[in-house]
Amino acid sequence: MSIIVDKNTKVVIQGITGREGQFHARQMIEYGTNVVAGVTPGKGGQKMDDVPVFNTVAEAVKETGANASMVLVPAAFATDACLEAVDAGCKVVVLITEGIPQQDMIEVYHTCKEAGVTLIGPNCPGIISPGQCKIGILPQDIFVEGPVGVVSRSGTLTYEVVDGLTRKGVGQSTCIGVGGDPIIGTTFKDVLVDFDNDPETKAVVLIGEIGGLDEQDAAEIIKDLKTPVFAFIGGRTAPPGKRMGHAGAIVSGKGSTADAKMEAFRAVGVPVADTIGELVDMAVASV
């Protein structure tokens, strides 16, 4: 089974005619994702391979029934692209773009919440339900179907964990990169609840990092979940006040340190691995 996206998800790609848009659209289609449309203003009526291109998301939704959007446009246009997708009726918006001003993300965040839209990102690799649907830029060859859910703030660490699981013969139900910015749509807490409601997800791997309080928020609900969670926190040696990789990965207070996050998880019985290899072994042993 899967969460958020599956084989019935119909995807429109905003920015499909750009270099990155074309490349990732072809990867998604090759994987089996139901990419039904693309949107590039001024290029309506064209095609990207066999995918029809429209001037607006509203036209694409009306003609194809698209219910999910991948936003892969420059940061200057990403806010409007997200709002357009929501206005057109898309129920899932995967925002890959990085470098979006936080003031803009406040508007996008609240608009999505009010409309009941699942926003993943920004600055994220996307989501994949192995064997069913991929929306994003994840390296699809390492994923296989199975019982472990994966949620992460780091794209690279996601790939390392998934590769380790797959090499040990354990597949994944859904993998989600929530993004590394200070303001994101879907949080750890949201994903953990969804995984807990999925009967085929038998364990969850959570990959956090320094910055913010998302991990502590997740820890608060874990004691009420039935699905076991295993965690890893990146950035343990990061000095205070220095951003490490992601815009949101910065120690700005005692609660945002790696030690504080690990302590919060351990306090509710969540095993915290010291290495990615150990994290993989924990998940494998649990299923």
pLDDT value of residue 189: 97
**46-53 LR contacts (CB < 8 Å, sep 24+):** 46/17, 48/16, 48/17, 48/21, 48/22, 49/25, 51/13, 51/16, 51/25, 53/16, 53/17
pLDDT value of residue 62: 98
CA dihedral 111, 114, 116, 121 (to 10 degrees): 30
Given strand 118-120, what is the order of strands in its sheet? 47-48, 51-54, 34-39, 10-14, 68-71, 92-95, 118-120
pLDDT value of residue 243: 57
**Pairing status of strand 126-129 against strand 118-120:** unpaired
Of 15, 11, 33, whose CA–CA distance to 91 is shortest? 11
Q: What is the CATH number of domain 10-120?
A: 3.40.50.720
What residues are labeled active site?
246
CA distance 218 to 190: 8
Q: What is the CATH number of domain 139-286?
A: 3.40.50.261
Q: What is the pLDDT of residues 140-152, one digit of tens each?
A: 999 999 999 999 9
| Percent of the chain topping pLDDT 70 | 93
pLDDT value of residue 113: 97
Look at the chain and count its residues: 287
Q: What is the pLDDT of residues 87-123, one digit of tens each?
A: 999 999 999 999 999 999 999 999 999 999 999 999 9
Q: What is the pLDDT of residues 18-55, one digit of tens each?
A: 999 999 999 999 999 999 999 999 999 999 999 999 99
Q: For residue 194, which phi and psi values (nearest 5 degrees)? A: -65, -45
Residue 256: band (very low, low, confident or very high) from pLDDT cuts 50, 70, 90: confident
Q: What is the pLDDT of residues 204-248, one digit of tens each?
A: 999 999 888 899 999 999 989 999 999 999 877 666 655 555 555
Q: For residue 16, which phi and psi values (nearest 5 degrees)? A: -70, -25
The residues spanned by each domain of the chain are 10-120, 139-286
CA distance 77 to 41: 11
Domains 10-120 and 139-286 share a fold: yes
Task: Write the single-letter amino acid at 279.
Answer: L
Of 118, 94, 132, whose CA–CA distance to 1 is shortest? 132
Of 133, 189, 191, 148, whose CA–CA distance to 280 is shortest? 148
CA distance 31 to 28: 5
